[in-house]
Each structure stands twice: as structure tokens, then as C-alpha cells.
Amino acid sequence: MKNILMLLLTLIMVSCSNKTINKNENSKEVATKIDSKNLFKTKWKLIELRGNKIENTKFTLDFFEENRFAAFAGCNNLGGEYKVENTFKITFSKVISTRMACEDMKTEQEFSKVLEMTDNFIVDGKILSLNKGRMTPLARFELIRK
């Protein structure tokens, strides 16, 4: 019950947040600020999923303190826990989701699968890549809030 309440609070925080990153901020400065120790202070917008560019997306991924994450998957909200090890390994677990039915669920389902498969990440400037092993990135995100 406690985990469900924490997730609901996380989802509420995500929906109420509308901060954006300063557009004049240097990408190299951002890259040095974002690492496994402070990933939790960031919000990302999906720009590529399994090699396909995603334009005008509302898909987002937020990292919060206490290893919590929340995501908006186009129609439904996702949330759960993430764990970072060795500065680049990441896993998502205890993922829960709202269950609204929408017209096109294909991208949303793929987004959810990617979170389950991810085992490492790379931050390059304002781009976050979620990966599995040495494969090409499963998903790429652009930083929208630090």
C-alpha cells in the first residue's frame, strides 16, 4: 500500500511540473552535471524508440529521489523504481501503469517493453540513451529539465 501511495505522489508531482531547461545552457556543462548520482533530478522527452524517430511526442521519463521514476506513455502513466550501479548500469522494476484504453497503443506498449529490457544508459550532452548490452539504443531522450 505504501508503494502505491508513493507512486501516486510521484505521478502527481510529474503532472504538476512544467519547468524547462535553460535553452542557453551549454551541452558540455549539462553532460558534466548529469551522471548516475544526480540522474534523479532530470526529466526527459522521448525522441527515438527502437531506431524510429518520435516527433511531437508527449512521452516523458522523470527520475526522482529515492530511486523512483515516473513516465507518461502517450495515454497511460507508468511508475516504479530504478537502480543505478557502476555509473552506467540501470534497471527499472516494480513498474505499475494506469490501464486506460486508447486508439494507438503500439508505441506505448513498445515504450513499456523498452523499460523492462534496459540494462544500461549513456548521457551525452542533452541526450539520454537507454540500452541493452551493446545493441543500438532502445530509446533516446532529450533533456527538458535539470
Per residue in 10-54, pLDDT tens?
A: 444 444 443 333 333 444 444 445 655 668 789 999 999 999 999
| Whole-number average pLDDT of the chain | 80
Residue 135 DSSP one-character state: S
Q: Nearest Cα to 98, choosing from 113, 110, 108, 83?
A: 108
pTM, 2 dp? 0.75
pLDDT at position 65 is 87
Residue with grid cell 502517450, as numbered in its chain: 74
What is the arithmetic mean of pLDDT over 107-127? Answer: 93
The answer on pLDDT for 87 being more than 60 is yes
Give yes or no for a contact between 55 and 83, defined as CB atoms under 8 angstroms apart. Answer: no
pLDDT at position 26 is 43
The answer on pLDDT for 1 being more than 70 is no
Give yes or no for a contact between 24 and 109, defined as CB atoms under 8 angstroms apart. Answer: no
